[in-house]
Each structure stands twice: as C-alpha cells, then as structure tokens.
Chains A and B, each alone.
Chain A
Amino acid sequence: MANEVVLLDFWPSPFGMRLRIALAEKGIEYEYKDEDLRNKSPLLLQMNPVHKKIPVLIHNGKPVCESLVALQYIDEVWNDKAPLLPSDSYLRAQARFWADFVDKKIYDIGRKLWTTKGEEHDAASKEFLDCIGVLEGELEDKPFFGGETLGFVDVALIPFYSWFLVYEKFGNFSVEAEHPKFIAWVKRCMEKESVSKSLPEQEKVYDFVALMRKKFGIE
C-alpha cells in the first residue's frame, strides 16, 4: 500500500512545526501544503470540519487533527525509528502531562505578550518566565526532556523557540538571562537538523507578528 503523507500547515504555527520535526526525525517523506488561514482550502475544511485548524496530518487520505494526537499517531505507526514516547507507562504519562502543560500555557500566555498592554501584559510576562522556570526544573540535568534523545516533550516545546524574538521584544525580557539552562537545552535541540530545518527564522516570525498587530490595530 502506498504510504502517502500530506501535512496541512501554516509556516509560523508552532503546532505545525511539531509534526514537521516528528516526520523528519522518523525519516518520513511527505507533501507539505501551506494554508492561507484567511482563505482556508476546501481540503482543510473537509479534513478538519470540527475545528477547521491546522495542522492536519493526512495519512493515505485519512486525517488526524490536533498536533499532540497526531504526534502520538506518528509515533505508533512509524515505530521503527526515533521513538518519541518512552515504553514505560508512568514515563509516558509524565511526558503527556508536560506536553499538555506546554499546550495549556505557552501559546496563550505568549500570545498575550504581543496582544495586550498594561496590567494584563505585565502579568503575562511574569507568568511566561515562571512557566519556562517550571519546565527548566522538570528538565533537571538531562540533555533532553526525553532523556538522551529528543522526545515527546522536546518536540512539543521547541517550536516555540521560533517565537522567542517576539516574546522577548514584546515581553521585555531575556529568557537566557533568567533561565540559561533552558537556552542550553534549546541550543542542543537546534543542533539537530530535524529541528533547525522545521523552524522558521525568528525574524520572519517577528515580521509576521508586526503585520498581525497592524491588522488588529494593536499599538
């Protein structure tokens, strides 16, 4: 049976980057389709009728939506190479917990940094750094969250690094100054081709956000 993989994505999406990294880690060939989110394709609307969001992984014509669900699917189907989740069920639960923490916190708090002002903005700045601190604590002295190799949590989290120029400029902080161990982990991840080739340049993301702010009339 042909193994056809299509990824419906949007280049600055950290959620899409997760799947790009996983597919690269596993050496899976796929067709990348960049969506115009102001004008969603019929394929996207057909493949994700419930949320109408990217990323969508389409495997042999069948869609898998929600990035963490799709990551687990990729890990289960292509289980011969680069496992993302450990085999121990307790460690798997812990990995899912931290990936869920990233989902609940990083994107929404990060978004507040460039869309809000005043008290709400300042609170978000503090909370963002607190979350990075919590994650840094969880990493401890391991090279990666997955241990010796890139794992589920690493793949879930590293895409947000492409947004750090945005977060730091609008949040008015330096992550490296506050959490150097976290940045050391970032650098280890970025040394991997699967990661560096899947993330856009920070400047590009910054320009994109500047455009969005103009569009939304944010000063």
Chain B
Amino acid sequence: MATEDVVLLDCWASPYCMRVKIALEEKGIKYEERAEDLFGGKSELLLTSNPVYAKVPVLLHKGKPLCESSIIVGYIEETWASPPLLPSCPYARSQAKFWVDYVDKKLFDAGGNIWRTKGEAQEVAIKDFIEVLKQLEKVLGDKDFFGGDSFGFVDIITIAITSWFLAFEKFGNFKVEDHTPKLSAWINRCMQRKTVAKVIPDPEKIYEVVINLKKMMGME
C-alpha cells in the first residue's frame, strides 16, 4: 500500500497525535506525517478535513478524513486487523472503551490544571491528578498492560499523555512514582516497545513547550 494512502495531520507535542502514530506503528502501517503549525496558521487541508473542530490529529485514508484521536485509533483497529488492540469478547471490549473514555475525560485536563494554577488551587489540582492516576493503577492491577498480557487500546490512549508527566511534575513539584509506583513501572514497560519509543518525544522538550505555552498565555 502506498504511503500516500495514509496521511496524518500532526503536531509532535500533541498526545492525541501520538496515540494515532503509535497505533499505526503497532499495525505496521506506513504513513506520511504532515506537521501543522497550530499557532502560526492551520493548513487549508486541516480546515477542510476537520471543519467542525479544526484540530489535529486528522487521519486521511485514501483522502477520506477521520477526526478525534480515540475514534481514529478505533478505525485503525477495525481496518487493519493485526495485531488486535481490543479483546474479542464484547464485555471486555466495553470495559476497555469505558477506560478509554475515562482517560479521555480526566487525565490530560487534570494534568493541565497543575501548570495552569498556583498556590491552593494548584494543590487541589495535584491531588485530583493523583486520584486519577490511583484509579488507573487500580485498573491495571498486577497486569503487565491494561490490555492484559498484550499492549492494547487503553495502553495506547494512556501512554501518549504520560509524555507530559515530567512537565506536570516539574510545575507541581511532585513525582508520579512516589504516588503510583506500579503505574510508573507500566510507563517504563511501554517505553521499552519500539513503537512507543519511536513516537513519544523527549519529556524535557514537552516541558519546554509548556513553558512557552505559559508565556504565550501571559502566566508566570
């Protein structure tokens, strides 16, 4: 299949884009990455492919656009069967989708609240973030991955956001490992995978992105 068949409108720092890239890598799909300048000027292609939200990631498969990262990963899972990212049993699939929804609703925003706030508000934000991590650690239990023995959908959706954890830790002055050591071990386990290591950027670079975001938003 030609590379031009699969195009990703991308931003290297976006955990939502990272998810899609990891899924494509896991399935061994060749794709073309097109970097979008989200602050300088979004491309015509992005604006026409995602008229509703004008956001990345957008996956174009044979020219047809797909938007919203969890939905894109679902599409990748259904279009390229191997290796499977979701279990085959409907109940287990529903549980995986529930946790994908939980991560989508809670994790990134909880982390974002840490660097967006100071003082007491920040303390509350850190507490809320750690509660989300503890919930995820509970779900992981003693399994190697959220998918069980194998790396799957929930792992992909979640591991992308962990690239921003160093930034949250530095601004909040805490360490994830101190609160959820099993989850930290899971992060390291995922980072051993070629597909993940290839896609996840250096967390120090993400930290710099957040510093710049704060400057842009006029925060000190």
Contact = CB atoms under 8 A, between A and B. Distances in A.
Chain B contact residues, majority secondary structure: helix
A77 B75 contact: no
Given A62-B91, A73-B91, A93 B98 contact: no
Interface stretch (A96-104, A119-127, A152-160): A96-104
Contacts of B98: 64-66, 69
A93 B93 CA distance: 16
B94 A100 contact: no
B30 interface: no
Interface string B143-170: 0000000000000000000000000000
Contacts of A65: 98
A134 B93 CA distance: 31
A99 to B, nearest CB: 10
Interface string A55-84: 000010010111011101100110000000
Interface stretch (B66-74, B196-204, B209-217): B66-74
Given A69-B97, A73-B94, 16 more contacts: A50-B135, A59-B91, A64-B95, A68-B101, A69-B101, A72-B94, A76-B93, A77-B90, A89-B75, A93-B66, A93-B74, A93-B78, A96-B68, A96-B74, A97-B68, A100-B71
Interface of B: 52, 61, 64, 66-68, 71-72, 74-75, 78-79, 90-91, 93-95, 97-98, 101-102, 135
10 contacts: A50-B135, A64-B98, A66-B101, A69-B98, A72-B97, A76-B93, A92-B78, A93-B72, A93-B75, A96-B74
